[in-house]
A and B are shown apart, each in its own frame.
Chain A
Amino acid sequence: MSGAAGIQRQRRARLTRRLRFLGLCAMLVLALCALILSLGQSFTPPATVLRVLGGEAVPGAGFTVLQLRLPRAVVGALAGLSFGMGGAAFQTLLRNPLASPDIIGISAGASAAAVFAITVLGLAGLPVAVVAVTAGLGIALLIYLLSWRQGVAGARLILVGIGLSGMMQSLTAYMLSQAESWTLQAAMRWMTGSLNGVQLEQALPLLAALAICGGVLLIAAPALEVMRMGDETAAGLGVRTGAVRAAVVVAAVGLVAVATAMVGPVAFVAFLSGPIAARMTGRDGSLLLPAALVGAVLVLTADYAGQFWLPARYPVGIVTGVLGAPYLLFLIIRSNRTGGGL
Chain B
Amino acid sequence: MTGTRTQSRRAMLGIAALVLLTAMLSVGLGARGVALADILSALQGQVETIGQAAVAARIPRTLMALLAGAALGLAGAAMQGVTRNPLADPGLLGVNAGAALAIVIGIAWFNIDSAALYIGTAVLGAGGAGIIVYLIAALGAGGATPLKLALSGAAVTAALVSFTTAVVLPRADIGGLVQSWLVGGVGGATFSQITPVLPALVLGGVIVLASPRRLNLLALGEEAATGLGESVAVARAMSAGGAILLCGATTAACGPIGFVGLVVPHACRAILGGDYRRVLPASALTGAALLTGADVLGRLVARPSEIDVGIVTALIGGPVFIWIVRRGRVAAL
A interface residues, Cβ below 8 angstroms from B: 98, 103, 146-147, 149, 155-156, 158-160, 162-167, 169-171, 173-174, 177-178, 182, 184, 187-188, 191-192, 267-268, 311-314, 317-318, 321-322, 324-326, 328-329, 332-333, 335-337, 339, 342
Contact = CB atoms under 8 A, between A and B. Distances in A.
26 contacts: A159-B87, A159-B146, A159-B321, A159-B325, A160-B322, A160-B326, A162-B92, A162-B150, A162-B151, A166-B92, A166-B318, A166-B321, A182-B179, A187-B179, A188-B165, A191-B161, A267-B158, A313-B169, A321-B162, A322-B162, A325-B156, A332-B148, A332-B152, A336-B140, A337-B141, A342-B147
Given A156-B326, A177-B308, A328-B151, 5 more contacts: A167-B319, A170-B310, A322-B159, A328-B155, A329-B136
A29 to B, nearest CB: 24
Interface string B162-176: 110110011000010
Given A167-B315, A191-B182, A325-B158, A156 B139 contact: no
A335 B147 CA distance: 12
A28 B207 CA distance: 57
Contacts of B322: 146, 159-160, 163-164
B78 interface: no
Contacts of B140: 333, 336-337, 339
What band does the interface of chain B fall in when counting residues whose beta carbon is under 8 Å from A? 35 or more
Given A173-B182, A173-B183, A163 B318 contact: yes
Contacts, number: 152
B151 A336 contact: no
B308 to A, nearest CB: 7
A342 B151 contact: yes
Contacts of A178: 305
A92 B178 CA distance: 37
B328 interface: yes
B148 to A, nearest CB: 6
B78 to A, nearest CB: 21
A188 B147 CA distance: 28
A322 B148 contact: no
A173 B311 contact: yes
Nearest to B314: A170
**What 9 A-B pairs are tightest by C-beta distance, nearest first?**
A336-B140, A325-B159, A312-B170, A321-B162, A167-B318, A170-B314, A328-B155, A163-B321, A159-B325
